[in-house]
């Protein structure tokens, strides 16, 4: 599993991330351009992106030159923000497995195939054999809820989802090897170290530099959490994942505080919703 790297956000992600923050409301186009400049995003690119997001219903404009998160944007933001609740999805693992049988769906439709495999990977499944995907049955939700989550993310409804207590002739260790456990744990450590180092230096940085860093560091961690397969012990060190998420909650509060100070200092005048 490749760890999420720290990158400057694209204009779309930056705008939606900031305007969907729980303690922020609206922003003028001038403020959005100012924030974009922190990441070397051209003002014209911000304006073009804002216009496109408004047409798509991801942003709304209560008055000329002022923008808020739109209805569709709120749904997207709530989904992305769900990282704060991710551990509630994890339950006790009794050794059972969830199987997704997809061989009968075929591979000819490449678009459908990509959507299917993306949905499976986002839900922590690994391919055991051609058309047979598997994950530990440690999710704190009914099997039908897992199925619906897969369908919502792009898997065909005709895929067969089942639970198995064992797979004949295959030991558990062989199944554990389907996931890159060492790489996943390395990513947990990397992001914890990155947040620790960042928190230690944020107070020494100019406000704008600190705000930029909280976005770059924080979004990398959030991508890691949102793409995590949510595996149990002994496949990965689940406690290390919990530490990363707990530390991200602390880092998120620090980042929001810094951005609020930056907004107040720049006179952006955001109102709480």
CB 231 within 8 Å of CB 10: no
**Mean of the per-residue pLDDT values of the chain:** 91
**Per-residue confidence at 236, pLDDT binned at 50, 70, 90?**
very high
* Residue 13 in this model has a pLDDT that exceeds 90: no
Of residues 126 and 9, the one with the higher pLDDT is 126
* Residue 271 in this model has a pLDDT that exceeds 70: no
Q: What percent of the chain has pLDDT over 70?
A: 94
Q: 175: closest CA among 101, 240, 235?
A: 235
Q: Work out the average pLDDT over 99-123.
A: 96
pLDDT value at position 77?
78
Q: Work out the average pLDDT over 32-60.
A: 94
Q: 27 - beta bridge partners?
A: 67
- 96-164: CATH topology: Alpha-Beta Plaits (3.30.70)
Exposed/middle/buried for 167, CB within 10 Å: 0-12, 13-18, 19+? middle
Does domain 11-78 fall under CATH 3.90.76.10? My reply is no
pLDDT digits (tens, 9 = 90+) for 137-147: 999 999 999 99
pLDDT digits (tens, 9 = 90+) for 181-233: 999 999 999 999 999 999 999 999 999 999 999 999 999 999 999 999 999 99
């Amino acid at each position: 599993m490749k760890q999420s790297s720290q990158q400057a956000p694209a204009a779309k992600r930056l705008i939606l991330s900031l305007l969907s923050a729980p303690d922020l409301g609206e922003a003028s186009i001038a403020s959005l351009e100012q924030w974009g400049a922190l990441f070397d995003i051209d003002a014209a690119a911000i304006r073009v992106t804002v216009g496109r997001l408004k047409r798509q219903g991801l942003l709304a404009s209560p008055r000329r030159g002022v923008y808020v998160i739109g209805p569709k944007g709120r749904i997207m933001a709530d989904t992305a923000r769900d990282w704060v609740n991710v551990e509630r999805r994890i339950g006790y693992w009794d050794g059972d497995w969830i199987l997704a049988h997809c061989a009968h769906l075929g591979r000819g439709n490449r678009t459908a195939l990509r959507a299917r495999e993306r949905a499976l990977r986002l839900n922590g499944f690994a391919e055991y054999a051609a058309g047979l995907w598997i994950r530990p049955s440690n999710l704190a939700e009914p099997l039908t809820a897992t199925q619906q989550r897969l369908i919502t993310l792009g898997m065909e409804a005709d895929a067969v989802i089942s639970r198995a207590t064992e797979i004949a002739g295959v030991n558990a260790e062989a199944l554990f090897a389907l996931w890159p456990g060492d790489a996943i744990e390395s990513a947990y450590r990397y992001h914890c170290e990155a947040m620790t180092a960042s928190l230690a230096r944020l107070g020494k940085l100019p406000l704008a530099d600190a705000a930029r860093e909280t976005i770059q560091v924080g979004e990398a961690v959030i991508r890691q959490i949102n793409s995590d397969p949510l595996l149990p012990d002994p496949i990965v060190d689940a406690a290390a994942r919990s530490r990363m998420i707990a530390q991200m909650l602390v880092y998120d509060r620090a980042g929001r505080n810094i951005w609020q100070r930056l907004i107040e200092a720049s006179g952006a005048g955001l109102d709480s919703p």
